[in-house]
Structure 1
Amino acid sequence: MLEVRRLKLLAEFARRGSIAATAEALGYTASAVSQQLAALEREAGVPLLDRTARSAELTDAGRRLAARAEEILGLVEVAEAELSAQAEAPMGRIAVTAFPTAAVAFAPALAHGLADYPGLTFVLRQTRLGDGLSQVRGGEVDIALVDDWTGSLSQQVPASLEVFRLRRDPLVLVVPADHPLSDPERPVDLRALRDEPWMAAPPGEPSRQAVDRLLDEVGGTGPVPWEFEGLHTILSLVARGLGITAVPALALAAADRDVAVRRIPGCTLAREVYAVTRAASVRRPAVAVTLRTLYAAARQTGPILPAT
């Protein structure tokens, strides 16, 4: 009989493409993954991997079984969800991964909202760009908070995942508290700010691409003189009067108060923030209550922006 845990390894190998990447994703050693996949081959009675000295890839039988493994694992999770739905209160471990600004912004509301469930063990992790979907699909976490600047994420995720829109997160202008534009009565004119010392994330980061597009719309500016990894670092430097920036509003949830935030007239640049979970796990009480808490957190979190 095929062992479910080994089927999970095979499905993860199909997604990752190598034994080393599979081991890293699941927290095993490469040797352990290789041994378990070899044991699965013995259970199946046919070769599942075509191994060479340097690599391994799925055989035709391996690809067919990996596809079935996804279905089997989904059915197992549905069965677990149906059983846990009979519980009177959410229990067990719930793991959420989030991009950094969401992790910082939502953590207080999540901690407060889930405190009423003593049987629930909650874990919140930060994830690197683009890893959230693969982690939730692979079962490493139950829910992933992801952002999308393209507006097309909900059409790109596989059918095994369910996407819940939490909020729209617009790009806003942030200046030091003693900057002339800290006066809300003063109109924002980006063209007049082209020669200011702008700060932004490194090229390639989604927020940096949004800033570049924003400035391109007003004729561009000189090279951004300061580039820093992490929006919170950028905001702390703006608070110290070292420059100005534009960031998604959610990044300001835990920002230094010595800044002024202004809407950008005519700016439509924004990202969508989503919670993504496996469709098979939506009925689990622990997942359901965490999603409800995230909805509430998304509506409570963030700065109150001026009207202009």
Structure 2
Amino acid sequence: MAFTDASLTALRVFREVAERGTLTAAAAALGYTQSAVSRQIAALERAAGAPLLERRHDGVRLTAAGRVVVRRAASVVDQIDATARELAGLPDERATVRLGWFPSAGATLVPRALAAVRAAHPGITVITREGSTPALVRALRAGTLDLALLAAAPPFRPPDDETPALVLSTLAERSQCLAVPAAHPLARGEFVDIADLRGQRWIAGTGRDGLMGVWPGLDERAEVTHTARDWLAKLHLVAAGCGITTVPASLAAVVPPGVRVLPVHGGPAEQRRLMLARMPGALPEAAVWVAEAVSAVMVDGGTVGRD
């Protein structure tokens, strides 16, 4: 079987697997059974004459051949979809840019960037979605995102070890803050001393690096009384007096009543770096404009957190 015999369905399935990271997640997203996804991948590997995926206990990883195929698959699928839209008389989407972002960026940074794009370039359609760093990186490599906002903590390692390396542009570095109930003793001053974090009740979420929302480097086992993935839910729990949580300084303007956002003094600074990531190579003009709008928002005073 020659690779020219590869079906469009198999290419779509393969791109979904590359983005989702597991056969199970791809099957759920496509509405297929896992066995159907496996058959499509097997057929594509026969056509390619090489393994495209490395099966691991935590999912799948693209082989060198798989990385070549996913780049080409993204282009082929996009071209077919564009042809179908043109034949159906739908608007041309050449000016569509797909932007991914980490959770807390949706509170202030992304809406302001989208407003700037609409004002300066009303012909551009920006499609966005929230995701974790691993999910956004897979989507970039699968060709389903053009740009992704990523946030990271020291030591600021690359978001993955695949090749080619992603192009990363640092937009800003800011310190992490603390969200406390307005009536809490910690809220009486203009900052919180790190020594006063001992014995506190924490509101946290979970991420790939463990608990998110607990101040890093505590010299005790944190007492986590509530867990929530959503930033707004965590902040409302803070407002209700249920505990304290870490928070990006960028959210200070949108916290609910009854919450104070304060810096923490003492101990090492908890820096967070906001980066714009993309695949290497020339960007379409519309994507360049979106990237410039995101950068301008940061220059005008955006700040950064991590999820």
> Counterpart amino acid of 2:123?
G
Query: Is the counterpart of residue 277 in structure 1 residue 274 in structure 2?
Result: no
**SS state of the match for residue 293, structure 1?**
helix
Structure 1 residues 293-302 or 15-24, which shifts more? 15-24
What SS is found at the alignment partner of 1:208?
Answer: strand
- In 1, distance between residues paired with 2:12 and 2:302? 39
Aligned equivalents of 1:125 and 1:118: distance in 2? 20
Determine the structure 2 residue equivalent to 1:83: none
The equivalent of 1:103 in structure 2 is 106
CA distance in 2, matches of 1:242, 1:67: 47
CA distance in 1 between counterparts of 2:22 and 2:195 reads 50
CA separation of 1:17/1:141 partners in 2, compared to 1, >3 Å: closer, same or farther? closer
Unaligned runs of 5+ in 1: 51-56, 77-89, 304-308
Unaligned runs of 5+ residues in structure 2 are 54-59, 77-92
Task: Please give the root-mean-square deviation of Cα atoms over the aligned residues, in Å.
Answer: 4.1
Paired position in structure 2 for 1:288: 288
User: For the structure 1 residues 193 and 112, does the alpha-carbon distance in structure 2 shift closer, same or farther, using more than 3 Å as the test?
Assistant: same
Matched, 1:173 2:174: no
2: CA distance between counterparts of 1:245 and 1:213? 11
Contact 2:204 2:213 in 1 (8 A): no
SS at match of 1:201: strand
- CA distance in structure 1 between the partners assigned to 2:210 and 2:271 by the alignment: 9
After TM superposition, list the pairs within 5 Å mapping 1:97-136 onto structure 2. Answer: 97-115=100-118, 116-128=120-132, 130-136=134-140
SS in 1 for 2:269: coil
Listed one character per residue, the Cα deviations across residues 254-282 of structure 1 (whole Å, up to 9, x for unaligned) are: 321432222111341232221111112x4
- Structure-2 change in CA distance of 1:222 and 1:301 (3 Å): same
Contact 1:109 1:297 in 2 (8 A): yes
Aligned in 2, Cα 1:97/1:38: closer, same or farther, shift over 3 Å? same
Aligned in 2, Cα 1:19/1:213: closer, same or farther, shift over 3 Å?
closer
CA distance in 2: counterparts of 1:120 and 1:229, whole angstroms: 31
3-state DSSP class of the match of 2:274? strand
2:177 is aligned with 1:152: no
Assess if the C-alpha contact under 8 Å between 2:206 and 2:229 holds in 1. no
Give the alignment of 1:162-241 within 5 angstroms.
162-184=167-189, 188-196=192-200, 198-202=201-205, 206=209, 208=211, 211-216=214-219, 220=220, 223-241=223-241
Query: 1:283, CA displacement in angstroms?
Result: 2.7
What is the match of residue 96 of structure 2? 93
Query: CA separation in 2, counterparts of 1:15 and 1:124?
Result: 15
Percent pairwise identity: 24
Do the aligned residues in 2 keep the contact of 1:199 with 1:234 (CA within 8 Å)?
Answer: no
How far off is 1:143 after superposition? 1.2
Q: Residues 165 and 273 of structure 1 are in contact (CA less than 8 Å); yes or no, is this contact kept in structure 2? A: yes
Secondary structure at the aligned position of 2:275 is classed as strand
SS of the aligned residue for 2:192 comes to: coil
Number of residue pairs matched? 273
Distance change (3 Å), C-alpha of 1:28 and 1:166: farther
Using the alignment, how far apart are the partners of 1:110 and 1:291 within structure 2? 9
- 2:149 is paired with a residue whose SS is strand
Shift in Å, 1:29: 3.9
Call closer, same or farther: CA 1:39–1:207 in 2, change over 3 Å: closer
Which is higher, the Rg of structure 1 or of structure 2?
Answer: 1
CA–CA distance in 2 between the matches of 1:160 and 1:192?
42
- Which residue does the alignment assign to 1:140? 144
Opposite residue 131 of structure 1, the aligned amino acid is A
* Residues 243, 4 of structure 1: alpha-carbon distance in 2 compared, 3 angstrom cutoff: same
**Shift of the alpha carbon at 1:223?**
2.1
Quote the Cα distance in structure 1 between the aligned partners of 2:299 and 2:157: 21
- Determine the C-alpha separation between the residues in 2 that align with 1:132 and 1:199: 28
Aligned AA (2:295): Y
The alpha-carbon deviation at position 205 of structure 1 amounts to: 5.9
Shift of 1:135: 0.8
What TM-score does the superposition give when structure 2 sets the normalisation length? 0.69
Quote how far apart the aligned CAs of 1:108 are: 2.0
User: Structure 1's 91 and 179: CA in aligned 2 closer, same or farther, altered over 3 A?
Assistant: same
Q: Describe the SS at the equivalent of 2:223.
A: coil
Task: Judge conservation of contact 1:14–1:63 (CA < 8 Å) in 2.
Answer: no
Q: CA deviation at 1:297?
A: 2.1
Task: Please state how far the C-alpha of 1:17 moved relative to its aligned partner.
Answer: 7.6
| Residue 293 of structure 1: how far off its partner (Å) | 1.1
Check 1:33–1:221 CA distance in 2 against 1; reply closer, same or farther (3 A cut): closer
